[in-house]
Structure 1
Amino acid sequence: MSTPQPRATVAEIPPYVAGKPPTVRPGMTSYKLSSNENPYPPLPGVVEAVQAGVAAMNRYPDMGSAALYTALAETFDVPTDHLSVATGSVGLIYQLVQAFCDPGDEVVFAWRSFEAYPIAITAAAATSVKVPVLADGRHDLDAMAAAITDRAKVVLVCTPNNPTGPSVTQAELDGFLAKVPSHVLVVVDEAYLEFVRMDDPVDGIATYRRHDNVVLTRTFSKAYGLAGFRVGYAVAPAPIAAALRAVSLPFGVSTIAQAAAIASLERRAELLERVDALVAERDRVVAGLREAGWDVPEPQGNFVWFELGERTADFAAAADEAGIVVRPFAGEGARVSIGEPEANDRLIAVAGRWSRL
């Protein structure tokens, strides 16, 4: 007897592997460094805004997210019709592929990069074109440009790149965009942009203003510390933003998520002070790792990358024994978030012992 069957591509969707929670160890505080979460609690005023939103939980959210669009437009000096919000930047990636790719169309991206990319692409019955990152974890933009065929509809540029860490420069991005056909959509995924400290950083807003085929995806999950509320936003030319809104899930961004995002934007100066503190911790961790003999890629997000190959699982186990859980990628390496100072100290200690094995 026949039964309903999903599309063949559904069986091909790779699973998303979330960061594990920390192992509870008696007498020891354990830390989760596996999900690139912000270790700071919500900014003052954000919790109060959320509590006010909870009182209206019997009502649907504002489907148009009008107040949030206004806050974003004022913060980044863009028109409201150049914006689209969704359940995190990952929700926007799903919508972009759905809106711009027919079955069999190609999406070009670096690899290893954000593991949700091939999931979203396969779910839309599109085809992944993975271009290996360079030895230092950077995007090989020349190879990515060469990989664009007549079937390509979307290119994803993750900067800073998750999980390897480096960012592309503005000059590199400009050179790349000059090679991309105008009908191919270029997604500049800036989930970690607030953490970037480098020469010639990408100016995403200026870049999108110069190109009709560029969209920026951003999130409140990382620097803003709203990972549990799932809210992200895209900045794009009006036709692209309209396409994203057309395929968005009705009422997808909750009332409390909208309230938290607006309150966070109002306190952006305080937020950036916290980001500066996390960047200082990142620099301290990198200095400690390099002193211990590690050659980690230049990190521009809130995490560091260890290229470990077949030793990855053993490294993750050693970290777990020390009360810190990291994000292993089997056979490749481990990504470790910058967390509380004590957690970072333990990482430096574990990595120091490991480098001497």
Structure 2
Amino acid sequence: MSELRLREDLNAIPGYTPGKAAPQAETTGPVFKVSSNENPYPPLPSVTAAIADRLAHINRYPETAATALTAVLCERFGVEPVNVVLGSGSVEVVSQLMRATAGEGDEILFAWRSFEAYPMLARAAGAVPVMVPLTDDHRHDLDAMRAAITDRTRLILVCNPNNPTGTTIGDAELDRFLAQVPPHIVVVIDEAYVQFNDRDDSPVGIEYFRRYPNVAVAHTFSKAYGLAGMRIGYAIAPEQLGVALRKVAIPFGVTDLAQTAAIASLAAEDELEARVAELVVERERVVAAFTTAGLALPESKGNFVWLPLCDATAAAAELLERHGLLVRPFPGEGLRATVAEPEANERLIALAPEIAALVAPAEAVLASR
């Protein structure tokens, strides 16, 4: 019997479930991994060239301050270097935000279902995750979130667009919510999928950072920029919070290659925006196909769609896997499918009638735009 003494509270933390990986050997044709919201396009030539130029320097530690990338981000957003804090993907940035603001017994508040890592990261920080159910149409219930604030609340996460449902928050409703949040509570607007959000009245996180002294914004290079494998994201935060984030950040946590790739990607944004536009068109094709099949999906403003299938989730995931599509199921709730290569999207569209048929007639239309 092991005598190792570990943190007992870790027993309450479920393991993170990554998107199912495509098999290395294909036996019945291509298998598409549409479970992790990855960008299906390969890196741009200019980005790979920039990475290649830095390979000769990987014997050295990366620059912790990331001076060059920070300067680019400061110019873009009109902020100071103290406001920019990098991390190994936005998930690590969110972890920094939790560890810098909350401790034992403090509360971290967010909608649920939302990003799967939120409750795990909160408990790992020693805090209590407070999960406020989404509305019936799979959106943030900001009124309920405001009512859930207590004297122990230290951090509020607002994921916009929300992962995994793809739903969004409008400018006026977010402004109203933030005006009601006590100013000592940090509010993080997680904009991991902001580039895909074409809602007309979508709030812009950086504007709220300027308007409210307790607001921070989290961004990633994993999705629209296609750098998921490089692991780099950043927060734009008030100066006091930025200083605290650096204290809990992993030393040398963002590699030199990741910094280089991010700078090159920012310089090639016109090409990347064209790719995002194509994915948005594909997203709308998928949504339209399910609507035609009789399963109206919630709005989707990310690079994925949410199928609210309830008890039919497992059967739908198995059906899709048999046809070479590995999705991200949430048992009893629904599944998320990334908008990916056109061939993968075509398969999903072709299977829409069969998936809709798995849902009981009374549940066939759970949410409309």
> TM-score if structure 2 supplies the norm length?
0.94
Structure 1 gap ranges (5+) = none
Aligned to 1:84: 85
User: SS of 1:339's equivalent?
Assistant: coil
**Matched residues in 1 for 2:150 and 2:225: separation?**
37
Q: Deviations over 1:256-280 (max 9, x none)?
A: 0000001001111211111111111
Take 1:304 and 1:262, find their aligned partners in 2: how far apart are those partners? Answer: 29
1:137 corresponds to: 138
CA distance in 1, matches of 2:219, 2:43: 18
Q: 1:2 to 1:22 in 2, by over 3 A?
A: closer
1:228 aligns with 2:205: no
Q: Residues of 2 paired with 1:48 and 1:25: CA distance? A: 30
Aligned to 1:97: 98
1:114-149 deviation digits (Å, cap 9, x = unpaired) = 010000000011001110001111000000000000
Where does residue 48 of structure 1 map in the other structure? 49
**CA apart distance, 1:75:** 2.1
Matched with 2:253 is: 252
Counterparts of 1:298 and 1:121, CA distance in 2 = 28
Write the deviation string for residues 64-123 of structure 1: whole angstroms up to 9, x where unpaired.
Answer: 111110111122222221100000110011111111112000111000000100000000
What is the identity, as a one-letter code, of the residue corresponding to 2:80?
Answer: P
* Within-5 A mapping of 1:151-170: 151-170=152-171
Q: Is contact 2:107-2:129 (8 Å) kept?
A: yes
**Percent identity of the aligned residues?**
51
Aligned counterparts of 1:29 and 1:310: Cα–Cα separation in 2: 28
- How far apart are residue 25 of structure 1 and its match? 4.2
In the alignment of these two chains, the number of paired residues is 357
SS of equivalent residue, structure 2 residue 57 = coil
- Distance (whole Å) between structure 1 residues aligned to residue 357 and residue 37 of structure 2: 27
Q: Distance in 1 between matches of 2:239 and 2:272?
A: 29
Q: Does 1:14 align with 2:14?
A: yes
- The answer (yes or no) to whether the contact 2:289–2:352 under 8 Å persists in 1 is no
Query: Could you list the runs of 4 or more consecutive aligned residues of structure 1 that deviate by over 4 angstroms after TM superposition?
Result: none
Report the CA distance shift for 1:2/1:20 in structure 2 as closer, same or farther (over 3 A): closer
Partner of 2:216: 215
Displacement, 1:282?
0.6
Q: Distance in 2 between matches of 1:4 and 1:20?
A: 32
Determine if contact 2:146/2:180 at 8 Å carries over to the other structure.
Answer: yes
Q: Secondary structure at the match of 2:180?
A: coil
Number of the residue aligned with 1:172: 173
TM-score normalised per structure 1: 0.98
- The answer for the alignment partner of 1:270 in structure 2 is 271
Whether the aligned pair in 1 keeps the contact of 2:209 and 2:217 (CA below 8 Å) is: yes
Supply the distance in 2 between the matched residues of 1:330 and 1:49 (Cα, whole angstroms). Answer: 42
Q: Name the counterpart of 1:59.
A: 60
**Structure 1 range deviating more: 189-198 or 74-83:** 74-83
8 Å Cα contact 2:290-2:349 kept in structure 1: yes
Structure 1 counterpart SS, 2:321: helix
1:337 aligns with 2:335: no
Cross-structure match for 1:122: 123
CA RMSD of aligned residues (A): 1.2
CA contact (8 A) 2:290 2:356 kept: no
Q: Secondary structure at the match of 1:178?
A: helix
Deviation at residue 27 of structure 1 after TM alignment? 4.4
> Which segment is superposed worse, 252-261 or 310-319?
310-319
Partner of residue 3, structure 1: 3
